[in-house]
Structure 1
Amino acid sequence: MLKRKNTLYPTLAETIQKAGELPISEERKQVLQVLINYIQSKLDQGQDVNLNFICTHNSRRSQFSQIWAQTAADFHRIPANCYSGGVEVTAFNERAVNSLKRSGFRVSSKENSSNPIYSVFYSHESDPITAFSKVYDDPANDALHFAAVMTCDHADENCPFIPGTEQRIPVRYEDPKAFDDTELEAQKYDERSLQIAAEMWFVFSQLKK
């Protein structure tokens, strides 16, 4: 039984509709097919699906990926546990948090610190998706066996071994950090979030339960 229901906030539903209209190249679909095959294999074997989205600081791309993947999984009724982590702790970047809010997620902070713990909701009925910066093997990522989905080139190239990984799946994204404190900041964060939304929605729409 899934923990969350698939009723979406109206603004979020509009964002997802927009994401669904984005083209995904055949080259990119081949990258995503590796992730699709891993999830489908786990479903076919009746095993838990645990995805750990990893980038260096666990502050932007891996957070986007975890949240969009969990939302897509729940919407498509795929029993998946989506986590995220990094190789060092920083904070869930406020620019990324604000982008998710603009997308239609409801986001609250549990504590005011240098590394706040956020609760992210996609509907009134949903349990929160907990989001904060952490290393990939933090106790919050409660899975002994998982696919390490590498969302940035630095982490992918500098983490040759991740304990507990059943399969390492590179799904790299450009870092919106390059546009911090520029006029394009919000636009570029929203573009990256929307791209990840489109690709995670594609992944989970291809699966057979």
Structure 2
Amino acid sequence: MSDRKRILYLCTGNSCRSQMAEAWTRAIHGDRYEVFSAGVEPKTVDPRAARVMEEAGVPLTGHRSKSIDELPQVDFHFVITLCSHAQETCPYFPASTQRLHVPFDDPPRLAQDAASEEEALQPYRRVREEIRKFVEELNL
């Protein structure tokens, strides 16, 4: 592992928000941070999340949902939870790991009653841009 600070983005399913945060951080700050993402109850990468990230030029190609147990045995400098469920169920990390909670809306939940695919993509795009802005301002 390198000398870069290691960040873990943690969400419930590691299917949408944490995947976006990982991809944005690699794209924007790949030289500053070593970045990982995981879920407390991993699912699969959300196809709509992949689609809107592709639209932004930051594809999720090669990404897959994973649990914390699947991550390399490294000491994370920062664990950033992106939803309340992950914050409440976040496993123990050593005292040297700083935990931050930065909640973002859940696009799949917001899109569940959408009348069309285009309408369903709107919350994904909004949250994608909110996460991008957060990552751009990241200074850990």
Give the RMSD, CA atoms, in angstroms.
2.1
- Could you tell me which amino acid in structure 2 is paired with residue 195 of structure 1? E
**Structure 1 partner of 2:41:** 88
* TM-superposition CA deviations, 1:82-113 (whole Å, max 9, x none): 100011221111110111111123454xxxxx
AA matched with 2:17 = R
Within the alignment, does 1:186 sit opposite 2:118 as a pair? no
Structure 1 residue 163, shift from structure 2 partner: 3.1
Give the secondary structure class of the aligned counterpart of 2:36: strand
Q: Tell which structure's C-alpha radius of gyration is larger.
A: 1
The letter for the 2-side match of 1:162 is Y
Q: How far apart, in 2, do the equivalents of 1:137 and 1:199 lie?
A: 26
Unaligned runs of 5+ in 1: 3-46, 109-117, 119-130
Q: 1:88 to 1:106 in 2, by over 3 A?
A: closer
1:50 aligns with 2:3: no
Matched position secondary structure for 2:24: helix
- 2:59 and 2:64 map into 1 onto residues whose CA distance is 15
Q: After the TM superposition, list the runs of 4 or more consecutive aligned residues in structure 1 that deviate by more than 3 angstroms.
A: none
Aligned-pair CA distance for 1:143: 2.1
2-side partners of 1:199 and 1:145: how far apart? 19
Unaligned runs of 5+ in 2: none
CA contact (8 A) 1:86 1:134 kept: yes
1:133 counterpart = 2:104:
no
Quote the Cα distance in structure 2 between the aligned partners of 1:107 and 1:92.
9
Looking at structure 2, the residues matched to 84 and 106 of structure 1 have their Cα atoms a distance apart, in angstroms, of: 15
Identical aligned residues as a percent? 25
Match of 2:84 in 1: 153
**TM-score, length of structure 1 as denominator length:** 0.58
Matches within 5 A, 1:92-171: 92-108=45-61, 118=62, 131-139=63-71, 141=72, 143-159=74-90, 161-164=91-94, 166-171=97-102
Deviations 1:161-207 (A, max 9, x none): 33346111101111011213613211110111011001101115xx7
2:22 to 42, 45, 66: 66
Aligned residues: 134
Paired residues of 1:151 and 1:171 also in contact (CA < 8 A): yes
